[in-house]
Structure 1
Amino acid sequence: MIGLKFYSYEYLLNKIDQSNTITYVTGGFLLLIIIVSLFKYYKNRQDSKYRELAIIMILGIFLLIGIQVSDYQSNSISANQYKSSIEFIEGVSEKLNIDKKHIYINSEASIENSFLKIDDNYYRVISNGKKGDYLLEKIELVEPIVEKVEVKR
């Protein structure tokens, strides 16, 4: 049987806030190597291996910057999609006077053709594409296999 994944409000918020620590650590490491190699090169100008190492690390930094720009653009698109789901959950929470922690959505990015799980009830989202303009239709799932995706703490 195929199950449905429902994502919590906190999980969606966390997806936006995730930072790419590996990239920052790698960039810091490359910067440290550049500083050390330039220091050693200026200390002993006869030894060109440190100058070459610094040049290689500077090229590595430029490569890392290029990768970061590309990642930033794709992460920005993803963040906008997550924000639409977050804003939708906030709107449903406000209109139904329900705590956001009780609302789960089965789509991380879009509310189109998505389902909501509010406590033990399930709803189909019918949207006409306008922001904040939607209809919730209560549905019954037969023997639902539901997985709640929460923030890992």
Structure 2
Amino acid sequence: MTFYTYNYLHSSQDIWQYARITITCVLVLIFILFLVHYLRHRFDIKYKDLSIIFGTLLLLILGMQYNDFSNIQNSIKQSGQITTVMEKIAKQLKVSKYSISVNSTTPDDDVLVKTPKGIFRVDYNADGSQFVLEQIVLHDSSSIKIEGAK
């Protein structure tokens, strides 16, 4: 069973996804530069060809990014929600938020929280606005792996 620390969840906001968006923006700028250069020098075919190549590459990457962007936003939102829950749990148990970890990156029904005071299950109410902590005992606690631990 894998648990994720507060630092891991807070810092892993899909940096690679933002790098892909940055690369796309750079390709847009290069495409615009080649297009403007072609429009200034209409008789120079190489800028037309470069504009078409970068335009096609840009359309291909934008097509792949279209679906990923909404997934990025959902992932960031859910990761932010679980870190907020972790902060509330740390405050309720009077421990540091950096000393607790959860077994899920999204706030769903089966969230376990590992703290210095034990392992707790998080039970949400019907609308998910409040939760109750229930202390549990795992039969095999040797299989716990913590991601983001120093």
- What is the TM-score of this pair, normalised by structure 2? 0.79
User: Residue 129 of structure 1: SS of its match in structure 2?
Assistant: coil
Q: Distance in 1 between matches of 2:120 and 2:84?
A: 17
Residue 86 in structure 1 maps to residue 83 in structure 2: yes
User: Residue 121 of structure 2: SS of its match in structure 1?
Assistant: strand
Judging changes above 3 Å, is the alpha-carbon distance between structure 1 residues 150 and 98 closer, same or farther for their aligned structure 2 residues? same
Alignment-mate amino acid for residue 50 of structure 2: L
Q: Distance in 2 between matches of 1:106 and 1:92?
A: 14
Q: Which moved more, 1:53-62 or 1:33-42?
A: 33-42
- What is the TM-score of this pair, normalised by structure 1? 0.78
Alignment-mate amino acid for residue 80 of structure 2: K
* Residue of 71, 75, 91 corresponding to 1:74: 71
Q: Return 5+ residue gaps in structure 1 as ranges.
A: none
Q: Distance in 2 between matches of 1:33 and 1:73?
A: 25
- Name the structure 1 match of 2:125: 128
Q: Distance in 2 between matches of 1:39 and 1:143?
A: 66
Aligned positions of 1:134-145 closer than 5 A:
134-144=131-141, 145=143
Aligned positions of 1:1-150 closer than 5 A:
4-16=1-13, 18=15, 19-25=17-23, 27-29=25-27, 31-32=29-30, 35-36=33-34, 38-39=36-37, 42-43=40-41, 45-119=42-116, 121-144=118-141, 145-150=143-148
Residue 78 of structure 1: CA displacement?
A: 1.5
Aligned residues of 1:27 and 1:61 also touching (Cα < 8 A): no
- How many residues end up aligned between the 2 structures? 148
Residue 10 of structure 1: CA displacement?
A: 1.3
Alignment-mate amino acid for residue 83 of structure 2: I
User: Residue 6 of structure 1: SS of its match in structure 2?
Assistant: strand
Q: Which moved more, 1:10-19 or 1:25-34?
A: 25-34
User: Residue 141 of structure 1: SS of its match in structure 2?
Assistant: coil
Q: Percent identity?
A: 25
CA RMSD across the alignment: 2.7
Residue 136 of structure 1: CA displacement?
A: 1.5
